[in-house]
Structure 1
Amino acid sequence: MGFFFGLLSGWNFFWSFVELIQKNVDEAAEKLKAKGIKVLGVVCHVSNAQQRKNLIETTVQKYGKIDIVVSNAAVNPSTDSILETQESVLDKLWEINVKAAILLLKDATPHMKKGSSVILISSIGGYHPHSSMAMYGVTKTALFGLTKVLAAEMAPHTRVNCIAPGFVPTHFADFITGNQTIRKTIEDQTLLKRLGTTDDMASAVAFLASDDASYITGETLVVAGGMPSRL
């Protein structure tokens, strides 16, 4: 009886979680619609093959094709050093942060025509992985290489670029940016003396996806307020 109760409770938690995600997607879609933007919100766990397929099929049924793919899904379930990270955590990091982007594009590519664009979202941590986010940083480094390879494979009809955001105070980064001491340290490392914003990142994505960037492919755009990245 105890086992059955625990299983039932687990399913109740699972479906509550799914309902919460759907609610968040619906709320985001409604906010965009309120601004006069035509939008379709679809819940998709990128490691789930059926949900990826549903995302692509639903989009194509609604719009007939896919013009832009922005791969932004990522996790960081551990703050351990790389050699102390459990194998299951290593698998999850690679599966979500790198592999899922490839699998999503495999599904989307048949529906992408001439002039389409792909933007992979990496991180400033891909250049200098922090010790508390070491393996996360390594997966983001991998996206730099993936950008180069995909740009060659998908040319000339599709451009593939990458964005390396600096620190942005989102829920994902709250354990870092929510600490005022750490936040001040990060701000001091930027030339602009501030953290980034979601609008900063969205503007960079919009640029790379637009015709203004029609002669840019295989590149990584660092959007980090002047934080050290590369020469």
Structure 2
Amino acid sequence: MAEDQYTFQDPTKRFPSISPPEEQDQPEPGLDEWLNPHTDRGQDSYRGTGRLEGRRALITGADSGIGAAVAISFARESADVALSYLPVEEEDARDIVKIIEESGRKAVALPGDISDASKAKEMVAKAVEGLGGLDILVNNAGKQISCERLEDLSDEQFDETMKTNVYAMFWITKSALPHMEAGSSIINTTSIQAYKPSPDKIDYATTKAAINNFSKGLAQQLAPRGIRVNTVAPGPFWTPLQVSDGQPKEKLPQFGKSTPLGRAGQPTELGPAYVFLASPESSYVVGETLNVNGGQPTP
């Protein structure tokens, strides 16, 4: 059994400082199954303590990377989970469904492209039906494609990134709200890119700043109804997003090494942040952005 998240350990050495091969490439959106090195999503180490007992969560982009780690941590904390993912990610999604079920919780698989408004809304309806209700929503799915020059950033890519990262969040949240009662929690995934945009990620960084503002405004609107909205802002985490054109290939071997901790994060290190914001123990935390980025200063 791997050391769990409660084990006293040096954070600089909890996981190795990886050097992904530069020639590594996957077609978008990428699969954990093919990633080199593989990610740690907490499948062998995350230890739950019942912090989300009886809760019902919908997580987008839940087949791999950060979303998969959140799905595993929620299930280990005794929540039932609906997983949204693209049909081409079925292989990864099946693995997460199996882990959730082996944790004794219900898993509802929801393949579909949420950048389509009708499919995004239909996905929420199926999640509510499959789970018997909804009290946690995690908008996590994201599109990130590196592009060095604005002149080369196509209208199609800009539009797809906006629809996946911002429009889908709007459609899904709006559809989910009628089913969420006081005590429910909405958690949106933003990024350090919202504060420190890389020059090759103009469209992606723009969406992450939009997610921050959407979340902080919505948090104020929904707080009187007892529904909390917060965000998590990851730094450099090793996921399939990075090798499916999310990073320039020549930067892969050094990915995450410039952080004060000296390494990229592993998805399982994000699980506790989402669990905290989803659970009642964060009842007075509203409109907050929880930065999990290896020590990089942010506003």
Q: Same fold (TM over 0.5)?
A: yes
How many percent identity over aligned positions? 31
> Given that residues 176 and 183 in structure 1 are in contact (C-alpha distance below 8 angstroms), is that contact kept between their aligned partners in structure 2?
no
Structure 2: runs of 5 or more not aligned: 1-85
1:117-136 correspondence to structure 2 within 5 Å: 117-136=185-204
Q: 1:93 maps to which residue?
A: 161
Aligned equivalent of 1:184, options 238, 254, 257: 254
**In the alignment, does 2:154 pair up with 1:70?**
no
Distance in 2 (alpha carbons) for counterparts of 1:154 and 1:108: 13
Structure 1 residues 182 and 78 mapped into 2: Cα distance closer, same or farther (>3 Å)?
A: closer
Residue type of the alignment partner of 1:159: R
**In the alignment, does 2:173 pair up with 1:105?**
yes
| Cα RMSD after superposing both structures | 2.2
Q: Once the 2 structures are TM-superposed, how far is the Cα of residue 172 of structure 1 from its aligned partner?
A: 0.5
Residue type of the alignment partner of 1:88: E
Secondary structure at the aligned position of 2:168 is classed as helix
Secondary structure at the aligned position of 1:92 is classed as helix
Residue type of the alignment partner of 2:278: A
Q: Once the 2 structures are TM-superposed, how far is the Cα of residue 49 of structure 1 from its aligned partner?
A: 2.7
Q: Report how many residues are paired.
A: 212
Instruction: Give the TM-score normalised by the residue count of structure 2.
Output: 0.65
Q: Once the 2 structures are TM-superposed, how far is the Cα of residue 196 of structure 1 from its aligned partner?
A: 0.9
* Greater Cα shift, 34-43 or 116-125: 34-43
Q: Once the 2 structures are TM-superposed, how far is the Cα of residue 176 of structure 1 from its aligned partner?
A: 6.6
Q: Once the 2 structures are TM-superposed, how far is the Cα of residue 83 of structure 1 from its aligned partner?
A: 4.9
Displaced runs of 4+ in structure 1, greater than 4 A? 175-183
Aligned equivalent of 1:198, options 253, 261, 267: 267
Residue type of the alignment partner of 1:199: T
Q: Once the 2 structures are TM-superposed, how far is the Cα of residue 140 of structure 1 from its aligned partner?
A: 0.7
1:1-231 correspondence to structure 2 within 5 Å: 20-156=88-224, 157-174=226-243, 182-184=252-254, 186-187=256-257, 189-230=258-299
Q: Once the 2 structures are TM-superposed, how far is the Cα of residue 160 of structure 1 from its aligned partner?
A: 0.5
Which deviations, in whole Å up to 9, do the C-alpha atoms of 1:139-165 show, x marking residues without a partner?
Answer: 111111111111012222210001110
Structure 1: runs of 5 or more not aligned: 1-17
Which deviations, in whole Å up to 9, do the C-alpha atoms of 1:2-35 show, x marking residues without a partner?
Answer: xxxxxxxxxxxxxxxx764334323321122122
Distance in 1 (alpha carbons) for counterparts of 2:129 and 2:93: 19
Q: Once the 2 structures are TM-superposed, how far is the Cα of residue 122 of structure 1 from its aligned partner?
A: 0.8
Instruction: Give the TM-score normalised by the residue count of structure 1.
Output: 0.83
> Given that residues 78 and 85 in structure 1 are in contact (C-alpha distance below 8 angstroms), is that contact kept between their aligned partners in structure 2?
no
Distance in 1 (alpha carbons) for counterparts of 2:159 and 2:248: 28
* Greater Cα shift, 134-143 or 57-66: 57-66
Structure 1 residues 31 and 50 mapped into 2: Cα distance closer, same or farther (>3 Å)?
A: same
